[in-house]
Structure 1
Amino acid sequence: MSKVKKLTKGQQRRIKANHDNRLHGKTTKNKDKVQWEDDDLGTPQQGVIISRFGQHADVESELGEIYRCNLRRSIGSLVCGDKVLWRLGRETQHSITGIIEAVHERDSVLSRPDVYDGVKPIAANISQILIVSSVLPVFNSDIIDRYLVAAEQTGITPVIVLNKTDLLDSISAEEQENIAKQLKIYQDIGYQVLYASSKSRDGISELKMQLAQHTSIFVGQSGVGKSTLVNALMPDLGILTKEVSDNSGLGQHTTTVARLYHFNEGGDLIDSPGIREFGLWHLTPEQVCHGFVEFSEFLGLCKFRDCKHQTDPGCALIAAAENEQINPARLASFQRILASLNDNKLTSRFNN
């Protein structure tokens, strides 16, 4: 993982100013062109954000109709899944049909750090996170661990999904064994693991049952097949998908804007843009540690109170790994995340 260079104070001030301007609609590019008077608007009604586009958002009414709306400048944050109070305009102006007045308090929010925007919300009011990995591109347990830490911080239930199981026969027996061992580690900890293939449709019915009656979000690296899974679950949508790049072996971005979809059988799904890394540098080492749930019984038992859990003498986590009370692979992943916090920690430029 490449290091993020610390910004100068001047750069920090400019980024903060740009960030504030975007939040409050002060930039010329994003300034509302449609000015609504109270007499031009209908009565307030409830809605949910289906998708967000800069200073506009698609709102679904209680009747299931979708309207593109402006945002009041007082709204500082709005993401897919937010529940809002909005008003319909008497007439459509420049394709805008109404305005979002307020955002209700969120039951949950999934966020990730952004170099320019600080901690950036991805989706709101979700009840489970489906962490999608796949046989190809190369199975990456470190990415899964990062998402698990994020999920544990929010209190949202995580479920691990191994996608593209039809490709298992195309990799070596050693690679298959490694994937099986890694997934068993998660199962032994207590996490639910599902298996699916959009091509063979293995596991699709089980996945639908898991999604029913929940508001879920698919997360994971680009190319693991999130959008393909959505197509398999909701074939009428026809979401654009791409294959893994032959040159780089990395996934290619397909979904560009997070969007909420409804299942006929019940339940909602937010399809979010794929990302190749999920930084955790906005978290403290203690928060990361609590994200590894099996470590809990050993916390506070280290010889030194300021133990860094790397090569420190008397580290209770290292001793637990040596005694096979926690899996050494998970400890190594935890140590890599801690090291990345030190490498990539940015100054708290948005706090002043």
Structure 2
Amino acid sequence: MAKKKKLSKGQSRRIKANHQKRIDKAKETEVSDVSWQNDNLGPTEAAVVISRFGQHADIETTDQEVLRCNIRRTVTSLVCGDEVIFRRAKVSDGDLAGVIEAVHERRTQLTRPDFYDGVKVVAANIDQILMVSAVVPEFTPQIIDRYLVACEDMGIEPILLLNKIDLLDQESLEYIDEVLDIYRELGYRVLLVSTKSGEGIDELKHMLEDKNNIFVGQSGVGKSTLVNTVLPNADILTKEVSENSGLGQHTTTVSRLHHLPSGGNLIDSPGIREFGLWHLDVERVTWCFKEFREFIGGCRFRDCKHLNDPGCLLREAVDEGKISELRFESYHRILESMADGRAGARAPRV
């Protein structure tokens, strides 16, 4: 048996320092919980999380009172849209008005993979997801397909929202509209809007009524501008697309739930440049392309890669025009990016 290598003095110091940090953090948590003992708390009440800040969260009560609360250590996950049980403090601790005791089971949740946190929940109890794309910085159907896969996986209704159509000439508009017809034929709702011309805005407001909504999409597609349009008093910061890189700049840093004047809610969340799917199985992604479903399981070989494999029903459906070539190519690009994502997730983080 090989002799165990002795730790260097530097390694020993780092291990000891990290151990002490964990002890200190545990002590801080114990101290912070002292002011939240039962004798300083009132009865339980219901509320909805409208924003999360580290170990604190802003909640709204049934009387529409907004309070900032501490979060019990037993609450392991808390995001915008969560329905919670909290208790008010009889004697408040600074700007903290109470403590969140528990979270109700979520009806739905939007998740995305994260290299550091595994699968990360973005928002809870969402009814519909508005996938915002635009001609600037770039109209990319593959990004739309990524979000559609996520929506199908989570069982949340998607709406495809093409923004900034005032920047399109007639020829470009006709081309993009032809691409969007692919999604319309699949039963997805599509809406073209412009915050400058006002086109489609009234219809958008109607779509948002009495629903819990979230806007998702690459940075720079105009999510914050759209929020300012449907919620004039929200004062969401906006930035232009970078002239140097052509990429959008992140503006929103903390997710927040806003009430819509006509009813319903909208969660404004930080921009996501790319929606990774590497946490899903290949078979699940295939199923999430809804037009593929009638052909799944019918290929000649059980391990069919759906490329040029003999007897592949998906390939045959593409050749026969039953499946869009654009969507089929997007499907394989997504699978390639998933493989790259898994490799990145396994790689050591430095």
TM-score by length of 2: 0.88
Match of 2:208 among 202, 206, 211: 211
Q: Which moved more, 1:64-73 or 1:340-349?
A: 340-349
- Does the Cα contact within 8 Å between 1:34 and 1:94 map onto a contact in 2? no
Moved more, 320-329 or 90-99: 90-99
Aligned to 1:79: 79
For 1:68, the aligned partner's letter is: R
Separation in 1, partners of 2:292, 2:72: 45
CA distance in 1, matches of 2:224, 2:182: 27
Local SS of the residue matching 2:168: helix
SS state of the match for residue 345, structure 1? helix
Aligned position for 1:133: 133
Q: CA 1:253–1:325 in 2, change beyond 3 Å: closer, same or farther? A: same
Larger deviation, residues 127-136 vs 312-321? 312-321
Matched AA of 1:69: C
Counterpart of 1:110, as a letter, is L
What are the superposed Cα offsets for residues 87-126 of structure 1, whole Å, 9 maximum, x if unpaired? 1111221321110000000000000000000000000001
Comparing 340-349 and 302-311, the one that deviates more = 340-349
Aligned counterpart, 1:58? 58
Partners of 1:154 and 1:34 in 2: how far apart?
A: 35
Kindly indicate whether structure 1 or structure 2 has the higher relative contact order, using CA contacts under 8 Å at least 6 residues apart: 1
In the alignment, residue 243 of structure 1 is paired with which amino acid? E
Whether the 8 Å CA contact 1:243–1:252 is kept in 2: the answer is yes
Paired position in structure 1 for 2:102: 102
Equivalent residue for 2:196? 199
The equivalences for 1:26-65 within 5 A come to 26=25, 33=32, 35=34, 36-65=36-65
Tell me the residue number matched to 2:300.
303
Comparing 102-111 with 32-41, greater Cα deviation is found at: 32-41
CA distance in structure 2 between the aligned counterparts of 1:27 and 1:278, rounded to whole angstroms: 34
Tell me whether 1:288 sits opposite 2:288 in the alignment. no
Q: CA-to-partner distance for each residue in 1:42-87, whole Å, 9 max, x for gaps?
A: 1100000000111110010010011111110011111100000001
Secondary structure at the residue paired with 2:146? helix
User: For 1:151 and 1:239, how far apart are their aligned partners in 2?
Assistant: 25
Q: Which residue of 1 aligns with 2:250?
A: 253
Residues 127 and 156 in structure 1, CA contact (< 8 A), matched pair in contact too: yes
**52-61 or 308-317, which deviates more:** 308-317
Alignment of 1:213-228 (within 5 A): 213-228=210-225
Distance 1:166 1:284, change over 3 A: same
Question: AA paired with 1:251?
Answer: G
**Cα gap change, 1:32 to 1:184, in 2 (>3 Å):** farther
| Aligned residues between the structures | 325
Contact 2:234 2:258 in 1 (8 A): no
Mapped pair 1:230 → 2:232:
no
Identity of aligned residues (%): 56
Q: Is the 8 A contact 2:165 2:173 kept in 1?
A: no
Note the aligned Cα RMSD (angstroms): 2.2
- 2:198 match: secondary structure: coil
Q: Distance in 2 between matches of 1:120 and 1:284?
A: 17
Structure 1, unaligned runs of 5 or more: 1-17
Q: Tell me the distance in 1 between the aligned counterparts of 2:289 and 2:27.
A: 45
Using a 3 Å threshold, how does the CA distance of structure 1 residues 100 and 210 change in structure 2: closer, same or farther?
A: same
| Equivalence for 2:69 | 69
Say whether the 8 Å CA contact 1:214–1:267 is kept in structure 2: yes
- State the shift of 1:348 in Å: 8.3
Distance 1:157 1:117 in 2: 26
Question: Deviation at 1:303?
Answer: 1.0
* TM-score, normalization by structure 1: 0.88
Q: Distance in 1 between matches of 2:308 and 2:118?
A: 31
Instruction: Call closer, same or farther: CA 1:245–1:115 in 2, change over 3 Å.
Output: same
CA distance in structure 1 between the partners assigned to 2:237 and 2:346 by the alignment: 38
Secondary structure of 1:281's partner? Answer: coil
Distance in 2 separating the partners of 1:326 and 1:178:
19
Q: Given residue 240 of structure 1, which amino acid in structure 2 is its aligned partner?
A: L
The answer to whether the 8 A contact 1:32-1:55 is kept is no
Q: What do residues 184-211 of structure 1 show as CA deviations (whole Å, max 9, x unaligned)?
A: 1100111000111111111111000000
Give the letter for the 2:270 counterpart: P
Residue in 1 aligned with 2:264? 267
**Secondary structure of the residue that 2:42 maps to in structure 1?**
coil
Unaligned runs of 5+ in 2: 1-17
